[in-house]
A and B are shown apart, each in its own frame.
Chain A
Amino acid sequence: MDTATLTFVSTFAPLAAFALGLVVFRRQPTLAAGVALLGALTSLVGTLLLYQRGPIPTPLLTRFVSTESVELSFGFVLDGPNLLMGVLVAAIAFLIQVYSLGYMASDPGKARYFSLLAFFTWSMLSFVYAANLLQMFVFWELVGLASFLLIGFWYEKPSAVAAAKKAFVMTRIGDVGLFVGIVVLLQTTQTLDISRIVAPNTIASIPPDRLTLIGLLLFCGVVGKSAQFPLHTWLPDAMEGPTPVSALLHSATMVAAGVFLFAKFQPLLVASTDVTTVVLAVAVFTAVLASTIAMVSRDIKKVLAYSSISQLGFMLVGLAAGSLYAGLFHLTTHAFFKALLFLCAGSYIHHVGSNDMVAIGRAGARSMRITTLGLIVGGSALAGIPPLAGFFSKETILARLADHGPPALLAGAYLAAFLTAYYTFRMMFLVTRPNPNGKLQPEHTTAGHGHGHDDAAHGTDAPWVMLVPILILVVPSLAAGLFGDTIGARLGFSVDAHPPVVEMLPAVGVTLFGVVLAWFEYGRTGASQLGFVNKLPALHRLFVHKWYLDDLYARSFGLLVNAVSRVAHLFDTRGIDGFTDGIGRQTIAYGHVTAAAQAGRLQLYVGTAVLLMTAFCLFLASA
């Protein structure tokens, strides 16, 4: 099979599965799931074959629109980052669909669920391989639509509907910026072909002011999609969806799309120092902000969600500090261990029926051996314990930042790394070392688990169909870091040289300090289960209330939008509706007046006719 056909097949197989599942197999959920799995497997095999063939520098294009000034060509690009991302998306999507076979086994919307997952995979794969910015934007929006549909999958739950709406609206705010950026870019460079935009001579031809403007506008889209401050608030709420959806959303699709867009336009974005400074500041601030919220949260999925936001900040730091390799390396390792952590969380939630970490720990989560193994490996990788996957990628980013960033930002990044280790091990200790005498009592939060629960059916651990994906993901979480350089070199990245061991020491030091602190406060026997922030009530309150950002948005933008829409509503009901209703009402009233003459009295009619006839005759006679 030639490369173009192979790309086409691996991209569109999930779309075919989506159509089949939703149209033909709607009433046979098992068949729909099977078709979706088959589609995902086709994609996985296809992307792996493409990876095997290695990067192709020239894009495969078909002309779509051609005018005097603009030429639009749609097609596929198979360069290094795209091949890597394609394999990542297909692999994670496939594993999550396998896992979902167990997690969503008894859900009434199973057919719809698997079809939507296939749709999600198709949009993301098409986004990754896109050759043209406009084509990219189309699939960017489709990825947003797919996550909207999946976050609101349990649409009978009002909170899920609200979360889906929030995700859609918040990312749309960023997308407006992105779209304006695309228009400005098209006007400036006369092309939307990605390889031509990021060519050095094109970038050199753009005036500096324009370059900054375009960079900031494109970054708007990234902020929305990759949940960076100030648009990050949708991602924690997106936990309302089924847990495997969260795993997919947080690892290889949706939020990764923002970072990937940044990676594709990295030469353009880092060409302006203003843009670089803004991106670094926003990303580091987001990493710290999200970590502080994660360290006081008790909902296991919320902890993981905030950790995603924080790690996305790290990826952007790597990219903005000038290393495509560092950013995409962390994106890849993070996809593995974050998917693993979410699948483990889903397994606990499925088994215990609560999202509260204390409740999960008390319910004997330790006895779920394989899930707990996954949690420990994934957590350690996230915290950056050497030599797990997260350590290498985070190290590369920090080394890059140390070389190219201001010291204040480096300090912020170290703080975020410390907090990451702290909250990750806090989570692991709360789950695996329950302490009945601790200060934290289990609270029975309504689990984000909409489907019926039959405790008798569960054994000591989750079903095998859920454990196998966890076990598979354990392997790259352990080892992916070791192969970073090999894969990077094969895909044609300029691989960063590893810093000497002495420079690694501070990062390892803060990580280990975080682990030890978490052990002292949550892990050791007789631990108080009170964090160090509890000693500062004001700060603790701030973190628990998510820095009051949601309240701030509700108070300011929410009120403003409500006020405007109330006026618009009033104009609609009173003005437009009133006018049209008035015409109708007047017609009816006039009808009633004339209807009174239709009394059914024959002689009245005849009398009127005679009178009129007489009057007419007299008129004729007088004329």
Chain B
Amino acid sequence: MNLHGFVLLSSLLFCMGIYAVLARRNLIGMLIGVELMLNAASLSFMAFNRFTAPDPVIGQVVVLFVIGLAAAEAAIALSIILAVYRSRRSIDVEDVTELVG
């Protein structure tokens, strides 16, 4: 395994995440897409850290930080989704258009 393989894999994951966020109508699906993008980013951090950085710790610190953020983000996003579901019995993103200009 070399750096190219990891970067390719993480780009693939990132693009899948973007696609999920853009294409899914379901809020849970979009949340999964966001998580995929975060993990793709974490993966590329680890890869670059492993193959290029002289200090082995810094990449791992950033990744741990991202995982922590992702957990918090998931908790908040899920609670928003629950609140949306309670108020309108649907988690379709097309239904939530109150903030139209």
Docked complex Cα distance between A610 and B17 (Å): 12
Which one, B45-53, B58-66, B90-98, is touching chain A?
A: B90-98
The reply to whether A610 and B93 form a contact with Cβ atoms under 8 Å apart is no
Q: Does B18 contact A (CB under 8 A)?
A: yes
Q: Does A587 contact B (CB under 8 A)?
A: no
B-contacting residues, A566-623, CB 8 Å:
594-603, 606-607, 610
Q: Does B54 contact A (CB under 8 A)?
A: no
Q: Count contacts on B: residues with CB < 8 A to the other chain.
A: 13
Docked complex Cα distance between A597 and B18 (Å): 21
Q: Which residues of chain B have C-beta atoms less than 8 A from A600's C-beta? A: 96-101
Docked complex Cα distance between A607 and B20 (Å): 11
Q: Which residues of chain B have C-beta atoms less than 8 A from A602's C-beta? A: 30, 93, 96
Select which of B30, B98, B99, B101 is within 8 A of A597 by beta carbon. B101
The reply to whether A606 and B101 form a contact with Cβ atoms under 8 Å apart is no
B36 → chain A closest CB, angstroms = 14
Q: Does B3 contact A (CB under 8 A)?
A: no
A275 → chain B closest CB, angstroms = 76
A-contacting residues, B65-88, CB 8 Å:
none
Docked complex Cα distance between A606 and B24 (Å): 12
The reply to whether A606 and B21 form a contact with Cβ atoms under 8 Å apart is yes
Q: Which residues of chain B have C-beta atoms less than 8 A from A595's C-beta? A: 101
Docked complex Cα distance between A601 and B30 (Å): 13
Q: Does B22 contact A (CB under 8 A)?
A: yes
The reply to whether B97 and A603 form a contact with Cβ atoms under 8 Å apart is no
Q: Which residues of chain A have C-beta atoms less than 8 A from B97's C-beta? A: 599-601
The reply to whether B22 and A606 form a contact with Cβ atoms under 8 Å apart is yes
Docked complex Cα distance between A598 and B101 (Å): 5
The reply to whether B22 and A603 form a contact with Cβ atoms under 8 Å apart is yes
The reply to whether A603 and B101 form a contact with Cβ atoms under 8 Å apart is no
Docked complex Cα distance between A601 and B101 (Å): 11
Docked complex Cα distance between A595 and B101 (Å): 5
Docked complex Cα distance between A599 and B100 (Å): 5
Q: Which residues of chain B have C-beta atoms less than 8 A from A606's C-beta? A: 21-22
Measured CB to CB, the nearest residue on chain B to A614 is B18
Measured CB to CB, the nearest residue on chain B to A601 is B97
The reply to whether B99 and A610 form a contact with Cβ atoms under 8 Å apart is no
Q: Count contacts on A: residues with CB < 8 A to the other chain.
A: 13
Measured CB to CB, the nearest residue on chain B to A599 is B100
Docked complex Cα distance between A597 and B23 (Å): 19
Q: Which residues of chain B have C-beta atoms less than 8 A from A596's C-beta? A: 101
Measured CB to CB, the nearest residue on chain B to A602 is B93
The reply to whether A598 and B100 form a contact with Cβ atoms under 8 Å apart is yes
Docked complex Cα distance between A595 and B98 (Å): 14
Measured CB to CB, the nearest residue on chain A to B97 is A600
Docked complex Cα distance between A598 and B99 (Å): 8
Q: Which residues of chain A have C-beta atoms less than 8 A from B18's C-beta? A: 610
Docked complex Cα distance between A601 and B96 (Å): 8
A157 → chain B closest CB, angstroms = 55
Q: Which residues of chain A have C-beta atoms less than 8 A from B94's C-beta? A: 601
Q: Which residues of chain A have C-beta atoms less than 8 A from B101's C-beta? A: 594-600
Of the listed residues B18, B23, B93, B101, the one surrounded by the most CB atoms of chain A closer than 10 A to its CB is B101
Measured CB to CB, the nearest residue on chain B to A591 is B101
Q: Which residues of chain B have C-beta atoms less than 8 A from A598's C-beta? A: 99-101
B13 → chain A closest CB, angstroms = 15
A237 → chain B closest CB, angstroms = 61
A59 → chain B closest CB, angstroms = 75
B22 → chain A closest CB, angstroms = 5
The reply to whether A603 and B21 form a contact with Cβ atoms under 8 Å apart is yes
Measured CB to CB, the nearest residue on chain A to B34 is A606
Docked complex Cα distance between A602 and B92 (Å): 11
Measured CB to CB, the nearest residue on chain B to A610 is B18
Measured CB to CB, the nearest residue on chain B to A598 is B101
Measured CB to CB, the nearest residue on chain A to B100 is A600
Docked complex Cα distance between A597 and B101 (Å): 8
Measured CB to CB, the nearest residue on chain B to A596 is B101
Docked complex Cα distance between A610 and B18 (Å): 8
Measured CB to CB, the nearest residue on chain A to B23 is A603
The reply to whether B99 and A607 form a contact with Cβ atoms under 8 Å apart is no
Of the listed residues A594, A599, A603, the one surrounded by the most CB atoms of chain B closer than 10 A to its CB is A603
Extra A-B contacts (6), CB below 8 Å, given A599-B97, A599-B100, A610-B22: A598-B100, A601-B97, A603-B21, A606-B22, A607-B22, A610-B18
Name 18 A/B residue pairs within 8 A (Cβ), A-sorted: A594-B101, A596-B101, A597-B101, A598-B101, A599-B100, A600-B96, A600-B99, A600-B100, A600-B101, A601-B93, A601-B94, A602-B30, A602-B93, A603-B22, A603-B23, A603-B93, A606-B21, A610-B22
